[in-house]
């Protein structure tokens, strides 16, 4: 009887867990995703694109950009609920700039921003609208840039930023390694976050002279972060040496103890 009761309790827990996960997942889906996800063609495409985007990975959903009430089908697209909808071409920088404030400012001062009213490239031309991927230097490529102009200027920008981008990537890997072994890396992460944002802002100016003049300040900050990382790594190295020495001493002590015990055993 006790065995049957235990099986019943286990089954009840499993069923409850299933329904809880189902309810939780349903709660995560806004009415925007539920509605557009059930449509066909171009009306459903944004959902699939968003699901693989960096916005989705960071919990940024439809209503965060387009406004509206994400909990109610009737209120979702009403202006009274703050619904914005799709911005006009020239309004896109302001639309994205509500979050990416610094980037918007540098973009608006750039050659791209100055040509906006004449069809100059704006955010979604380079980053897309829903399938937005993690920003990387690979976004500067011949296929993308040559849609509007020759690739020569873009190559100069990419060359100017490549070494700093590589340094950022290497430092981020080092910080991640320190974090995995239990080091409190928040200060290092904050420093890299600030440097990365400043640098990414800078190359939205698409101004080679400005990039070359200002990236030295960013690289100086990265040098300080690198020095802090090396200090942590040296400390870890010393700990490993001390730990290794302690292990060797324990092994040696164990061997000596065994020899002493064997000696007394032989005498007996």
Spell out the per-residue pLDDT of the chain, length 268, in tens.
444 444 444 444 444 444 333 333 433 589 999 999 999 889 999 999 999 999 999 999 999 999 999 999 999 999 999 999 899 999 999 999 999 999 999 999 999 999 999 999 999 999 999 999 888 889 999 999 999 999 998 999 999 999 999 999 999 999 999 999 888 999 999 999 999 988 988 889 989 999 988 888 899 999 999 999 999 888 877 766 777 778 877 888 888 888 787 777 766 5
The pLDDT of residue 16 is 42
d(CA 104, CA 129): 15
CA distance 220 to 234: 21
| Domain coordinates in residue numbering, the chain | 1-61
Q: The dihedral of CA 95, 96, 102, 107: what is its sign?
A: negative
Euclidean distance between CA atoms 153 and 130, whole angstroms? 27
Q: What are phi and psi of 110, to 5 degrees?
A: -85, 175
Which has the closest alpha carbon to 50: 200, 59, 85, 71?
59
Look at the pTM and tell me if it is higher than 0.85: no
Which pLDDT score is estimated for 268?
A: 59
Query: At 125, phi and psi to the nearest 5?
Result: -65, -40
């Amino acid at each position: 009887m006790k065995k049957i009761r235990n099986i019943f309790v286990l089954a009840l827990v499993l069923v409850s867990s299933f329904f809880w996960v189902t309810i939780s997942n349903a709660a995560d889906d806004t009415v925007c995703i539920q509605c557009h996800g059930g449509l066909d063609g171009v009306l459903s495409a944004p959902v699939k694109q968003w699901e693989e985007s960096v916005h989705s990975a960071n919990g940024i959903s439809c209503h965060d950009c387009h406004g509206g009430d994400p909990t109610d089908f009737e209120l979702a697209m009403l202006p009274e609920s703050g619904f914005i909808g799709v911005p006009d071409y020239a309004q896109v920088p302001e639309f994205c700039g509500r979050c990416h404030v610094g980037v918007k400012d540098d973009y608006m001062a750039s050659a791209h921003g100055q040509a906006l009213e004449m069809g100059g490239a704006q955010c979604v031309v380079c980053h897309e609208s829903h399938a937005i991927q993690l920003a990387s230097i690979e976004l500067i490529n011949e296929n993308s840039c040559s849609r509007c102009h020759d690739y020569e200027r873009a190559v100069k920008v990419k060359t100017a930023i490549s070494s700093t981008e590589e340094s950022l990537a290497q430092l981020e890997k080092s910080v991640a390694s320190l974090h995995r072994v239990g080091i409190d890396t928040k200060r290092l992460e904050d420093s890299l976050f600030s440097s990365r944002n400043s640098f990414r802002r800078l190359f939205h100016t698409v101004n080679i002279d400005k990039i070359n003049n200002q990236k030295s300040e960013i690289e100086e900050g990265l040098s300080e972060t690198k020095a802090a990382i090396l200090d942590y790594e040296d400390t870890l190295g010393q700990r490993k040496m001390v730990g290794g020495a302690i292990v060797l001493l324990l092994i040696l002590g164990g061997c000596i103890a065994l020899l002493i015990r064997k000696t007394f055993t032989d005498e007996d």
